[in-house]
A and B are shown apart, each in its own frame.
Chain A
């Protein structure tokens, strides 16, 4: 056990990687988002300096090499140079986004940066082979779609001091992430490592405590599904054992909320509810800007008012402008009107009239038929807009389509 050692464990920096599933037309928001991965990494560097870390471990996906961003590498190099000034070394393992085969686009890094090899697990003694206080075992991905269980290649050597395993891997088959370098927790624990510095999962997770098996998560949430805290882990090794501390580094917070408009009857009510929702999101973000998604839900008399597309969009635009003017800003990334008309659907369904027919027809559409209908509708768009995420819930869209028809048929809507 090292007498005293502090290092910082980070992963999934995804430098210069654009956010996913966000629509930020406002330049200020866009610029902040573009800079956020860099800002978060700068914060990690600050943490290294402030905590007197001996080294920084980045467990994969520092870059998205497929995006050929020199800027990302340039900024990483600048950060590494800054760390070099205070004697902090950097150990990098490549992940599925920055595998060894990712391409030749790479800048020369300062001497304090070390890439783990991709062909086999590489052992690095720190600070030197002659007098190591710890050793790091690391392995980079050779290719993006690495499906081998790389954890089994790790083994702490006899006589090693404190040993750290550095690997980008999907431990336990997390379904939300690609199954790259799949392994089990037992695979990791059986290696004899004293600390596992993992990467790949963007949410901070501690899979085990003895020894610590840790995902630090990404330093910055990159899409609406990555709300919550993002940062790095400060690891302190001492005679008392190993302690870990999660440090928040995210510069922009993601948030998604639902606003129930059941009790609203006017657009003013809707406006007020949106404002309250924004303020709640701002309060929860702890001083950071927020990318906020709101779903308006509930059976509401305001549903008919919102059904006017222009009115709804004007309302959202007004709140968006208001919230952007406040510091820290809240950007309404998306506001969906999922409200339902304020009518007794069962009663309509029971009616022997056109509306009743329409409700019953919607009810009769099964999941497969709904999906087929949706595909039929969307396929032309998918053909034209390849790569655009359109994984909609067909059944939910059928319901919204039904409600739209009822809105217009029953609520005096003239179709304009």
Chain B
């Protein structure tokens, strides 16, 4: 496959420019300066590897004023023709492969550039004078073109040198000698060192713990001793303190007892004096029971006196009332005593009243019949003979009743006057007056008569008969009434009721007599009670008098004085009692004081004895003062022992805590385990490091062998080409893979490095290296053309001819395009390769 055309749509100064057709072998492109020779060289590379952006590349970007950079490469083989198109843009710009003829080959770019990086292309395939020295400058770096191409030529995808460098980089990332801290193993070693240090500290702690435990045991014994001492001194202090307090209390008790005795004795004396000063009324005390009894009965006595007065009044009043009743009844005591006031008598009176009333009614009826008949007969007769008034009543009954009423009114009035009851008097007068008016009125009413002459005459006769009959009946009934009244009177007399005519009066007399008898009975009862009360009063008064006499006090002469006498007796008794009580109190006080004195004397003696015992037991003849000083010393000793114990206790507790914590220490296990982990990591990393380091050594050995046994093929080819170009001036090269320097040897075997070569000779060396490398690449980059941009410019004619021969030789196996602005160069190349293609470029 060969590159046929390079088409610049827009690229720098090139616009719609085409370079081609390029020959299969050597093509010389002759053009003046600014004809675009360098632009086509750069364009070919950018179309394959991508356009650089203005900012991303340090090389010239070949921007176009006409627009976005764009171009095409046309490749051709026996199978077809393809165009690779690319437009500038991100990531090198979009590109594509299009078949102009033959099958599509979308992977064409990768096929063409396989094994050849852009840098390698720039340095080895498409280079100008500016890139000539790059082939040496980049040696020993990641862009060691020789190494890369050599690796490709050796069937490797990467340079052994690069692999070795990467492996050593990996190894360095794991471990570096010295004090590096970043590599993994170095960091782990530092970590392990720190962990060991921690473990060492913990082990030291553990070892020191043995001593601490021994100290703890000693301290425990010391603490126990201190505790015993503390307890003993504290106990002694407490004992002495208690003894001192006891002694103090006892001495205080003695003093207090002394003071108390003074007071008590004074009290006893005072009590005795007070007792003597009190005079007790023993006589009154002796009658105290009588006086108390009289006092207790005094209230009853007073009531009794009141009852006597009341009973006396009542007896008098009942006597008068009884007499009044008898007077009203018109009876003396003797007659009254004969009156039968039994219920039978009263029932008899009732019966008699009914009988008499009935008889009187019959009499009145008969009389009225007689008078009515007579009156009617008179009227009828009057009618017959004129009228004549007839009295309305001719019986005379109402007048009798009226008169009886008058009599009753008079009696009532009289009784009222007798008893002084004016209401009764008034009632009697009114009754009398009313009854008198009735008696008088009964005569005034008259009945008028009428007459019928015929009938009336007959009627008058009849009436006259009837009046006669009525008169007869009336007389008979009047007689019967008279008999009844007599019988009634006899009946009354038989019952002591002489002088009474009417049943009502009889009833009244019975009532009065009954009342009189009741009052008399009451009076008798009151009199009897009065007698008893008087007897009691007299008895009480007598007792009072007896007591008063016994006490030499005035005796009451009557009942009324008895009350005051009792009061006086009571007062005297009260005074006597007060005095007696005061005497008792004084006596008790004296007794108590005496007992207290005895007790206080006993206590004082006891306290004094016990105090002396303490003084003797503790051997402190100085007493409390000396004992207090001893207590003070004991207190100081106890405090010191306590303080010492506290200090030891605190120390023991701290050490015990420390020992306990260390005994329970679980950090060491974790740290040891962590150290194991770190060591294991170191081991793993060391194994990887070993593999990497051994790999580096293997690579080194392989490189050495390869350089020794196989690299000379390339070097010899370069030597041959260089010798050809220089006309045998230089016969040998040294191009070690791992070194950056290239040395040349002249015919005298003198070595020179490139820095000591002339520019032209150095460029000839670089060209020889490129031609040798490319010649050894075989299939690598087989379709890539070698584009040389006036690289022979600095060669002298002789060496230019030699270089042209070498280029022509390469062109027999590779497509080579030589750009030049020197016609003589074109001629030299034409001489070297007569079948070359020639193209011309005009200045843009």
| Segment 686-702 of B: residues with Cβ below 8 Å from A | 686-687, 689-695, 697-699, 701-702
A33 interface contact, C-beta 8 A: yes
The listed residue (A20, A22, A398, A415) touching B163 by CB distance below 8 A is: A415
A318 interface contact, C-beta 8 A: no
Complex interface: chain B residues within 8 A of A107 (CB): 663
In the bound assembly, the distance between CA atoms of A401 and B702 in angstroms comes to 13
Taking a contact as CB atoms under 8 Å apart, the answer to whether B683 and A354 are in contact is no
Q: A24-B673, A398-B694, A400-B691 are in contact. Are A70 and B705 (CB under 8 A)?
A: no
Taking a contact as CB atoms under 8 Å apart, the answer to whether B663 and A413 are in contact is no
| Segment 374-416 of A: residues with Cβ below 8 Å from B | 374, 377-378, 380-381, 384-385, 387-390, 392, 397-398, 400-402, 404-405, 408-416
| Segment 57-84 of A: residues with Cβ below 8 Å from B | 67-71, 73-74
B206 interface contact, C-beta 8 A: yes
Complex interface: chain A residues within 8 A of B694 (CB): 373-374, 377, 397-398, 400-401
In the bound assembly, the distance between CA atoms of A16 and B669 in angstroms comes to 6
B119 interface contact, C-beta 8 A: no
Taking a contact as CB atoms under 8 Å apart, the answer to whether A361 and B185 are in contact is no
In the bound assembly, the distance between CA atoms of A16 and B666 in angstroms comes to 9
Please give the number of chain A residues whose Cβ is less than 8 angstroms from any Cβ of chain B in the complex. 65
Taking a contact as CB atoms under 8 Å apart, the answer to whether B687 and A104 are in contact is no
Q: A19-B676, A389-B679, A405-B695 are in contact. Are A415 and B684 (CB under 8 A)?
A: no
The listed residue (A71, A309, A334) touching B665 by CB distance below 8 A is: A71
B59 interface contact, C-beta 8 A: no
For the complex formed, measure the closest distance between the CB of B688 and the CB atoms of chain A, giving whole angstroms: 8
In the bound assembly, the distance between CA atoms of A357 and B711 in angstroms comes to 13
B210 interface contact, C-beta 8 A: yes
- Across the two chains, which residue of chain A brings its CB closest to B160? A354
The listed residue (A16, A74, A388, A415) touching B682 by CB distance below 8 A is: A388
B154 interface contact, C-beta 8 A: yes
Taking a contact as CB atoms under 8 Å apart, the answer to whether B691 and A409 are in contact is no
Complex interface: chain B residues within 8 A of A380 (CB): 175, 177
The listed residue (B169, B662, B679, B691) touching A387 by CB distance below 8 A is: B679
B578 interface contact, C-beta 8 A: no
In the bound assembly, the distance between CA atoms of A21 and B676 in angstroms comes to 6
Complex interface: chain A residues within 8 A of B666 (CB): 34, 71
Complex interface: chain B residues within 8 A of A412 (CB): 157-158
Q: A385-B682, A390-B686, A412-B158 are in contact. Are A401 and B691 (CB under 8 A)?
A: yes
In the bound assembly, the distance between CA atoms of A355 and B155 in angstroms comes to 9
Complex interface: chain A residues within 8 A of B670 (CB): 30-31, 34
In the bound assembly, the distance between CA atoms of A412 and B159 in angstroms comes to 10
Complex interface: chain A residues within 8 A of B664 (CB): 70-71, 74
Taking a contact as CB atoms under 8 Å apart, the answer to whether A23 and B687 are in contact is no
In the bound assembly, the distance between CA atoms of A401 and B168 in angstroms comes to 12
Query: 1/0 contact trace for A13-40 toward B, CB 8 Å?
Result: 0001011111111000011011000000
Taking a contact as CB atoms under 8 Å apart, the answer to whether B695 and A404 are in contact is yes
Taking a contact as CB atoms under 8 Å apart, the answer to whether A24 and B677 are in contact is yes
For the complex formed, measure the closest distance between the CB of B270 and the CB atoms of chain A, giving whole angstroms: 82
In the bound assembly, the distance between CA atoms of A36 and B689 in angstroms comes to 33
A358 interface contact, C-beta 8 A: yes
B162 interface contact, C-beta 8 A: yes
Taking a contact as CB atoms under 8 Å apart, the answer to whether B676 and A378 are in contact is no
- Across the two chains, which residue of chain A brings its CB closest to B699? A405
- Across the two chains, which residue of chain B brings its CB closest to A358? B702
B203 interface contact, C-beta 8 A: yes
Taking a contact as CB atoms under 8 Å apart, the answer to whether B693 and A377 are in contact is yes
Max chain A C-beta neighbours (<10 A), residue from B156, B680, B682: B680
B407 interface contact, C-beta 8 A: no
Q: A23-B681, A392-B690 are in contact. Are A409 and B674 (CB under 8 A)?
A: no
Complex interface: chain B residues within 8 A of A415 (CB): 158, 162-163, 165-167, 169
Taking a contact as CB atoms under 8 Å apart, the answer to whether A377 and B689 are in contact is yes
Taking a contact as CB atoms under 8 Å apart, the answer to whether B691 and A361 are in contact is no
In the bound assembly, the distance between CA atoms of A69 and B209 in angstroms comes to 11
Taking a contact as CB atoms under 8 Å apart, the answer to whether B207 and A68 are in contact is yes
In the bound assembly, the distance between CA atoms of A34 and B662 in angstroms comes to 17
- Across the two chains, which residue of chain A brings its CB closest to B157? A412
- Across the two chains, which residue of chain B brings its CB closest to A66? B203
Complex interface: chain B residues within 8 A of A69 (CB): 206, 665, 668-669
A105 interface contact, C-beta 8 A: yes
Taking a contact as CB atoms under 8 Å apart, the answer to whether B156 and A410 are in contact is yes
Max chain A C-beta neighbours (<10 A), residue from B165, B665, B666: B666
In the bound assembly, the distance between CA atoms of A207 and B673 in angstroms comes to 33
For the complex formed, measure the closest distance between the CB of B706 and the CB atoms of chain A, giving whole angstroms: 5
In the bound assembly, the distance between CA atoms of A343 and B63 in angstroms comes to 49
Q: A67-B668, A361-B701 are in contact. Are A409 and B188 (CB under 8 A)?
A: no
For the complex formed, measure the closest distance between the CB of A312 and the CB atoms of chain B, giving whole angstroms: 11
Q: A385-B679, A414-B166 are in contact. Are A70 and B665 (CB under 8 A)?
A: yes
Complex interface: chain B residues within 8 A of A25 (CB): 677
For the complex formed, measure the closest distance between the CB of B672 and the CB atoms of chain A, giving whole angstroms: 4
B718 interface contact, C-beta 8 A: no
| Segment 189-222 of B: residues with Cβ below 8 Å from A | 189, 192, 202-203, 206-207, 209-210
- Across the two chains, which residue of chain B brings its CB closest to A20? B676
A227 interface contact, C-beta 8 A: no
| Segment 224-277 of A: residues with Cβ below 8 Å from B | none
Complex interface: chain A residues within 8 A of B165 (CB): 415
Taking a contact as CB atoms under 8 Å apart, the answer to whether A23 and B680 are in contact is yes
In the bound assembly, the distance between CA atoms of A21 and B189 in angstroms comes to 16
In the bound assembly, the distance between CA atoms of A68 and B202 in angstroms comes to 9
Taking a contact as CB atoms under 8 Å apart, the answer to whether B163 and A409 are in contact is yes
B186 interface contact, C-beta 8 A: yes
The listed residue (A21, A381, A408) touching B175 by CB distance below 8 A is: A381
Max chain B C-beta neighbours (<10 A), residue from A107, A351, A414: A414
Q: A22-B677, A23-B684, A67-B668 are in contact. Are A354 and B692 (CB under 8 A)?
A: no
B714 interface contact, C-beta 8 A: no
Taking a contact as CB atoms under 8 Å apart, the answer to whether A70 and B663 are in contact is yes
Taking a contact as CB atoms under 8 Å apart, the answer to whether A388 and B167 are in contact is no
Taking a contact as CB atoms under 8 Å apart, the answer to whether B691 and A34 are in contact is no
In the bound assembly, the distance between CA atoms of A231 and B347 in angstroms comes to 142
Q: A355-B155, A381-B682, A409-B156 are in contact. Are A18 and B698 (CB under 8 A)?
A: no
Complex interface: chain B residues within 8 A of A378 (CB): 686, 689-690
For the complex formed, measure the closest distance between the CB of B680 and the CB atoms of chain A, giving whole angstroms: 4
In the bound assembly, the distance between CA atoms of A385 and B163 in angstroms comes to 28
21 contacts between A and B (CB under 8 A): A22-B677, A23-B676, A34-B666, A68-B207, A69-B669, A105-B209, A309-B170, A354-B160, A354-B710, A373-B694, A377-B697, A380-B175, A380-B177, A401-B695, A402-B698, A404-B692, A405-B695, A410-B156, A411-B157, A413-B163, A414-B166
- Which 9 pairs across A and B sit closest by C-beta, in order of nearness? A415-B166, A68-B206, A401-B694, A401-B695, A18-B672, A23-B680, A358-B702, A377-B693, A70-B663
10 additional A-B pairs beyond A388-B683, A388-B686, A398-B698, beta carbons within 8 Å, are A18-B676, A22-B676, A71-B665, A355-B156, A384-B185, A385-B189, A388-B679, A389-B683, A404-B167, A409-B160
